[in-house]
Structures are given as C-alpha cells and as structure tokens.
C-alpha cells in the first residue's frame, strides 16, 4: 500500500470526570484525607496523573487485597486521578477534590494525554470493523483478495449484529476475526452528536499511509440520550438554506435560484411531503462601510418555510434584487452569509440540515479590514459541523473572475470539507451569463431534488444504497451534482437513522481497527475512517484562549515596531503563566518556552504557532506577520463559539462548569 500518512495516534486519554464520578463512589468520611491533591505528571506544573480502569477492577479501603471492598466493580475505562502510588496499588478518585479508594495498579493503564477518536461522516467509506487481534487485521490487509474477504466480513458482521447496539455482535463463531462493527447501512450511523470514547491502547505502522490502532470503546449511553432524540417520532424534516450572493454580477443566478425553489416545492407537494422539507434564504454582499450603496452585508430574506406556507417565502424572494453598485473587492463577504444562516435561522425543527452557498466570488480574505466574520473557512466549517449542518458550495466560474477562481475554489473546498480530501464543492462553468444560468439551474435542481428524495425514501422506510465512490471524468455537471447529492443524502439518512434509533458506538474492551477505510485501502486509495479530537475542560479552553490573546496582543504591538520585543512581551504578559520574563528566548520556540498550555506539550503534533521562534518572527514581512495574527484570531474566535455552545459541553453531572469537557478537533488547536 502506498498511501500518504494522515493520522498518528499515540495513547489516548479522556477527561470525563463526571462519568467517573458516576462509576466510582468516594471513600468513607473516616478515611484519612491526602496531604495534597492528585500527583502531578512528571515535569508539569498543572497537569495531574490519570489512569483508566480495566475490566474487573475494584476499589478497596486500603492498599491490600484483603482490605474492605468499597466498590466491587468499577466501570471499565473510567478515568481516575492518582493521589498516591504504594506497593503496586494506586489511591484514586474521579475528581481533584478527594480520593475514592485504592485500586490495584495492574488493573489500570496510565493515561495522561487527552485524545479521542470520532467516526468520520459516512460519505465515502464502509463501517469500521473491530478485529480481535492485530494479526487478524494484518492478515486481511496482506491478502491478495483483500476486497473479497472484506465484503464477506462486512456481510457477516451485519448479519450477527444485535439491533440497536451499534454493531455489537451476538453469537459470533469463535473463529470469526471481527468482534464488532460500526453500524451498517440498514441500521444507520452513530450520530455525530452522540458522546462516546475510543481510547487508544497501542499503535502499529504495518503499511504506508495506514495505522493499526488497538482501541477500546465505551458509550455513556443515557447521558447523551435526551440530546439525540430528535426525529424519533416521524420521518426526517430537512432544512435547506440558500445562501445567495446578491452582488451586482449575480442577477441570472438569483432568478434561477428562486425558480429552483418553486420547482422543488411543486415536487414536494406532488410527493405529499408538504411538511417535510423547508427552504430558507439568506442574502449577502460585502462591506457597507467600504461601499454604503450595497445596503447590507448579509440579511435573512426568509426563515424556513415548508410547501404549506410557500407563498410567504415566494413573495419575499420576488423582492430580492441584485446590488446596483460594485463592492470594494471582487471577493464578497460570503462567510458573513454562512455565519448568519448558521446562527440566525431556526434549525430546531429540522433533523437534516443543509446550507447551499451560491456565489461567483471567493470570500473576503482574512487580511481584508472589511471582513465581518472573525473565523476563517476551516473554523466556520467546524462551527457548522458542530451544529449538525452540512455546507455545499456552488461556485459559478465566469470569465471575469478567472484570476479569482483558484483562491475561491481552495477556500470553498475547505469550507465544505467532509474528511480527508472530500468536500461538498461543485464548480459551475459560466462562459456566458446565459449558459452559466442554465447549468446552474440544472445543478441546483439536481442537488435539491436529491435531498427531497432522501426524505421521501426515509419516510417510506427505504434504505438508500451507498453510491459508488467514483465519478466518471467525462461526467456532465448534472451527473456530478447527482453523485454529490446521492453521497450527501446517503450520509444524512444514516445520521438520521442512527440518531432516531439511538445507535451506540460498539462497546469493546480490546480490539484492533485501521484508521483508514479498508475498502479504499484494498484499492490503494485512502479515506479516513476516524478523526482525532482533544477533550478539553472549560478551564483548559479558557487558559488556552488567554494565552492566544497574549500572543496576538504582543504580535500586533511589535509587528511595526521592535520585533525583538515580541517574545519578551509574551513571557511578561500574564503572571498566571508563571514564566520568567528574563528567560533567554534565542533559538527557542513558543512550545519550548512553555507559553502555550501544558496539555499541548504531549500531543503528537506541532503547528507553525507552537514551533515559532523569535528569529522566525523577526524575519517575517509585515504581510506574513499579519497573516500569522489573523490565523490566531480566527482560531480564537472559534474557541469563543465553543464556549457558547452549551449543547455540546458534557458535564456528566459535574456541578463545576470548569470541569465540563468538549471534543475539540485536533486541527482546531493552535
């Protein structure tokens, strides 16, 4: 196999303190209190030692086998803080406030990092299989007929799976190499909104471009139950938000967009689904500060309206006109339109959510002083994903914007990214306005009709077939749109079914998985099957935000003055950092100087920010320094949205909000 390396995953750790609290009772009040809190990790000032319990672990009142049992069975993979180590025993507790008892050291694994795995969207891969041994997984990947063997394993795993258990197998033959699988197509996927943990116990690199990971998997179940109950009482409702560029060049596409909405409404009524699909429209232009004649940056034309009340939306659409003046730049503030659609439309009634962005220009660049959204395209993509919203981009490529096409396409592929190299992006060729409008109408109608078909199939109890991965190179724009719609519709149906059925992640104690889709690997291709997230507490996220602000403030202060003062200013910025302002900085990067949060030190990645040295900053041009600052500002804006996103913070019963945890994608770290 010759695939580029994408994921590296060492040991995983979790910070689910409340989950642990539910699984472990505290020691009796008569037990002696420790002289201090949990033990610190070696070389750390703020990070405590943690372990994860093994199956069969129990808590005792004293560090010996015949001591009083405080808890007979600790839930496997409970995360516990270590207060003391003594003669093969660990004094542990679920929080940093008090210990709960003594645990045999052999019944736990040290777990000091905070990485977790998430399943990637099911847009281009088969269900993940959990193998008994590395040898079983290796034998499959080494086989000449790997694809044939894999199909047999997938079919058998689906046949043996218990309904509603997320792929746990029942009555498997002893010789069968697979012990569980991610839910198959007929069952639905594990909802992206469901909270589950997949700790990594070991890692191997048997082939280029794929990792074999020894994992456990545990699903808290009841904690996430209420959050994932949407859509249980009927067929899915799909919300499609058109985010339309209404600048001066977009007149033919505005008109065609509204024609498409009318045609889809007609189809919905014919299919007797008048209440199952809603359309909303958001319009955007660019800065009214730079060009007052534009009238607005972005605005909601109409919130969601189903076919039952289509007249209200259609009347509002009829009043939309293109701008009468040109913007200050060829790029428009498309990110303002997407952000407004995510934040201000009423998505709550819709289980499947899609934004269709329509524009002939790229988004305003991060160094444009008139850009109104602080987040960049990567951060905005993550923002929408956390809200359960899929972004699709229709990018009209006209001759007048030829110099802008490359930048716009790169930006919109990132904005609509799914996983790996997959994105919901489609270009619309427009050699003339008339031809562009014709092709756009056909593509937009195909995409919207695909979403309606998904709703109808689901309402009728029909499970969609996973579409083929390949699109012929000579495919027409309509064929490419049909492929995109089928892929997206399939993934959205699986997400809906998994949420409605409350699918759990497979519960396994010890297994091996590949980090890439096995079917793709058999074809010497790659499609990630899992992605990495970091569980951060609110306290950790606040600390990280404070440190980024210190870097930004000092970067802006020094970029036009004395660049050599940059690092000293950062080191002096906060007494909470407990840094020595006189520490020599020459040759040291920010990570080595300890400026960024301690929990980043042990993570298996280093960004350009962490690796930045004083001399690197000094050599940058003003433009490069500005781009560096803007990247940090974009990341910081995303952290502010994480903090506001109450729905995705997991407390597990912890009253202290500082101990709540959030799954932050690894690529969102600084």
- Model pLDDT for residues 36-75, shown as the tens digit of each residue: 789 988 877 777 888 878 778 899 999 999 999 999 888 7
Length of the chain: 670
Q: Is the predicted pLDDT of residue 8 greater than 50, yes or no?
A: no
- Model pLDDT for residues 255-299, shown as the tens digit of each residue: 888 888 888 888 888 888 878 889 999 999 999 999 999 999 999
Helix (H, G, I), strand (E, B) or coil at 300: strand
- Model pLDDT for residues 585-606, shown as the tens digit of each residue: 555 566 655 556 566 665 655 5
Show the DSSP H helices in 518-582 as ranges.
518-522, 538-558, 566-572
User: What is the domain partition of the chain in residue ranges?
Assistant: 17-113, 116-228+502-528, 238-433, 540-656
Highest mean pLDDT among 103-117, 302-316, 605-619: 302-316
Q: Is the predicted pLDDT of residue 469 greater than 80, yes or no?
A: no
Name every residue whose Cβ is closer than 8 Å to that of residue 631 and which is 6 or more positions away in sequence: 366, 376, 609
Token pair of 303 as six digits: 């919130």
Q: Is the predicted pLDDT of residue 229 greater than 70, yes or no?
A: no
Residue 586 is predicted with a pLDDT of 59
Burial of 148 (0-12, 13-18, 19+ CB in 10 A): exposed
Token pair of 413 as six digits: 């592929």
Q: Nearest to residue 247, comparing CAs of 319, 316, 332, 357?
A: 332
Residue-wise DSSP of 26-37: PPPTTSPPPSSS
Q: For the chain, give the mean pLDDT.
A: 80
Residue 427 is predicted with a pLDDT of 92
Inter-axis angle of helices 377-386 and 622-644, nearest 10: 10
DSSP 164: T
CATH code of the domain made up of 238-433 = 3.40.50.410
CATH code of the domain made up of 17-113 = 2.30.30
* First-to-final CA distance of the chain: 32
pLDDT above 70: percentage of residues in the chain: 80
């Amino acid at each position: 196999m010759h695939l580029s390396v994408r994921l590296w995953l060492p040991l995983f750790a979790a910070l689910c303190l409340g989950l642990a609290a539910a699984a472990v009772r505290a020691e009796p009040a008569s037990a002696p209190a420790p002289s201090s809190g949990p033990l610190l990790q070696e070389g750390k000032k703020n990070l405590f030692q943690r372990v994860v319990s093994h199956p069969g672990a129990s808590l005792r009142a004293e560090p010996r086998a015949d001591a009083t049992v405080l808890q007979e069975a600790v839930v496997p993979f409970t995360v516990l803080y270590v207060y003391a180590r003594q003669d093969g025993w660990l004094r542990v507790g679920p929080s940093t406030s008090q210990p709960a008892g003594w645990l045999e050291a052999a019944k736990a694994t040290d777990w000091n990092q905070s990485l977790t795995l998430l399943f990637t969207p099911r847009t281009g891969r088969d269900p993940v299989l959990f193998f008994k041994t590395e040898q079983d997984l290796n034998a499959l990947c080494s086989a000449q007929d790997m694809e044939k063997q894999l199909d047999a394993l997938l079919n058998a795993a689906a046949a043996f799976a218990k309904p509603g258990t997320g792929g746990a197998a029942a009555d498997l033959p002893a010789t069968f190499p697979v012990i569980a699988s991610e839910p198959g197509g007929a069952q639905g996927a594990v909802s992206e909104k469901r909270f589950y943990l997949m700790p990594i116990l070991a890692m191997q690199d048997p082939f280029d471009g794929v990792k074999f990971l020894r994992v456990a998997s545990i699903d808290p179940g009841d904690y996430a139950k209420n959050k994932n109950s949407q859509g249980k009482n009927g067929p899915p409702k799909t919300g499609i938000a058109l985010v339309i560029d209404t600048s001066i060049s977009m007149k033919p596409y505005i008109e065609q967009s509204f024609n498409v909405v009318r045609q889809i409404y007609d189809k919905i009524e014919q299919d007797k689904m008048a209440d199952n699909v809603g359309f909303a429209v958001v319009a955007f232009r660019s800065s009214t500060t730079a060009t007052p004649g534009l009238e607005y940056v972005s605005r909601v034309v109409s919130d969601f309206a189903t076919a039952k009340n289509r007249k209200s939306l259609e009347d509002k659409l009829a009043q939309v006109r293109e701008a009468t003046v040109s913007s200050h730049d060829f790029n428009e503030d498309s990110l303002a339109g997407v952000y407004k659609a995510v934040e201000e439309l009423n998505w709550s009634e819709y289980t499947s959510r899609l934004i269709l962005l329509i524009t002939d220009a790229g988004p305003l660049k991060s160094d444009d002083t008139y850009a109104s959204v602080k987040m960049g395209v990567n951060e905005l993509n993550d923002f929408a994903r956390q809200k359960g919203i899929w972004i699709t981009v229709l990018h009209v490529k006209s001759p007048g914007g030829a110099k802008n096409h490359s930048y716009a396409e790169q930006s919109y592929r990132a904005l609509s990214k799914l996983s790996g190299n997959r994105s919901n992006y489609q270009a619309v060729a427009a050699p003339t306005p008339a031809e562009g409008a014709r092709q756009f109408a056909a593509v937009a109608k195909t995409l919207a009709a695909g979403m309606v078909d998904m709703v109808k199939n689901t309402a009728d109890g029909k499970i969609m077939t996973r579409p083929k991965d390949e699109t012929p190179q000579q495919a027409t724009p309509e064929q490419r749109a049909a492929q995109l719609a089928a892929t997206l519709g399939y993934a959205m149906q699986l997400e809906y079914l998994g949420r409605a059925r409350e699918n759990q992640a497979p519960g396994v104690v010890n297994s091996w998985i590949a980090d890439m889709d096995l079917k793709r690997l058999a074809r010497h291709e790659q499609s990630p099957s899992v992605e990495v997230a970091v569980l951060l507490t609110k306290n950790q996220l606040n600390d990280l935000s404070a440190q980024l602000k210190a870097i930004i403030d000092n970067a802006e202060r020094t970029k036009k003055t004395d660049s050599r003062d940059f690092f000293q200013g950062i080191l002096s910025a906060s007494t909470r950092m407990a840094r020595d302002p006189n520490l020599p900085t020459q040759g040291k990067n920010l990570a080595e100087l300890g400026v960024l949060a301690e929990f980043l030190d042990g993570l298996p990645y280093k960004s350009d920010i962490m690796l930045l040295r004083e001399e690197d900053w000094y050599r940058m041009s003003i433009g490069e320094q500005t781009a560096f600052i803007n990247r940090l500002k974009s990341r910081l804006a995303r952290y502010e949205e994480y903090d506001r996103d109450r729905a995705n913070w997991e407390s597990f019963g912890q009253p202290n909000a500082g101990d709540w945890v959030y799954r932050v994608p690894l690529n969102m770290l600084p």
